[in-house]
Amino acid sequence: MPVKKVIEAMFRKYQLSGKFKEKSVLNAWDKLMGTSISKRTSKKFVKNGVLFVEITSPPLKNDLNLSKEKIIYLYEQEFVKGILKDIRFL
């Protein structure tokens, strides 16, 4: 049996696919946003398809709020469409 099939079966059996997707989304933040934004990010987590990101710079938080659609588009390009429902900046 190919390794890919074994891993997929394991994810289904132990219901790990949701957690794996969440971790993938969190890990992609630094890559997609770049160093300057990731340095100003203190916390991030995913809950019910919504990415919550705590930003330490108020002006950057405002800019990112205006760019939500573009950020979601970047995630859809990296993963699949519908991976995130929304992004909230704290």
Q: Domains of the chain, with CATH numbers?
A: 24-89 (3.30.300)
Question: In one letter, which amino acid is 39?
Answer: K
At residue 19, the pLDDT reads 81
Tens of pLDDT, residue by residue over 29-70, are: 999 999 999 999 999 999 988 999 999 999 999 999 999 999
Say how many C-beta atoms besides its own lie within 10 A of residue 63's C-beta: 13
Q: Judge whether residue 4 has pLDDT over 80.
A: yes
Neighbouring residues of 89: CB distance < 8 A, sequence distance ≥ 6 = 53, 54, 55, 61, 64, 65
The C-alpha atoms of residue 60 and residue 65 are separated, in whole angstroms, by: 9
pLDDT for the residue numbered 81: 82
Closest listed residue to residue 31, CA positions, set 44, 47, 17: 44
The CB-based long-range contact list for 16-24 (8 Å cut-off, 24+ gap) reads 21/79, 21/83, 22/46, 24/79
| pLDDT at residue 32 in the model | 92
